């Protein structure tokens, strides 16, 4: 499955990137293709392009703050979870998707 994801935490220096790494690792284990955009203190990095989003079957928001550029995700199925979930139980997120 093709997946896009956004991670963001209030300070944007540690959690944001740790969550992105966990999502990438777990997606690989599940055999999914994933691209994760980080919205940290440095602003948006690894930005999801329009075609990334259009091709994705699902978007994961693992965020504690408002996602920047939410309107880009119109027409894509979005699931939003607290950032902690991506850190502590990323497997749970993916098994939820598969159901």
Instruction: Write down the catalytic residue from 4, 6, 9, 59.
Output: 9
- CA-wise closest residue to 51 among 72, 28, 30, 24: 72
Contacts of residue 31, defined as CB under 8 A and 6 or more positions apart, other chains included, come to none
The minimum distance between CB 73 and other proteins, in angstroms, equals 14
82 has catalytic annotation: no
Site string for other proteins, 55-74 (x = CB under 8 A): --------xxxx--------
Strand locations in 1-99 (E): 2-8, 33-40, 43-45, 58-63, 77-81
Residue with tokens 């980080």: 38
Interface with other proteins, residue 15, by CB under 8 A: yes
Q: With contacts defined by CB under 8 A, how many residues of the chain interact with other proteins?
A: 18
Return residues touching other proteins (CB under 8 A). Answer: 8-15, 18, 41, 63-66, 82, 84, 87-88
Report, as residue numbers or ranges, the catalytic residues.
Answer: 9
């Amino acid at each position: 499955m093709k997946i896009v994801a956004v991670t963001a935490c209030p300070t944007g220096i540690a959690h944001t990137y740790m969550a992105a790494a966990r999502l990438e690792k777990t997606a690989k284990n599940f055999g999914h293709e994933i691209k994760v955009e980080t919205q940290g203190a440095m602003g948006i990095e690894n930005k999801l392009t329009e075609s990334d989003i259009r091709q994705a079957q699902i978007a994961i928001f693992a965020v504690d703050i408002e996602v920047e550029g939410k309107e880009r995700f119109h027409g894509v199925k979005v699931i939003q979870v607290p950032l902690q979930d991506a850190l502590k139980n990323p497997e749970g997120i993916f098994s939820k998707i598969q159901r």
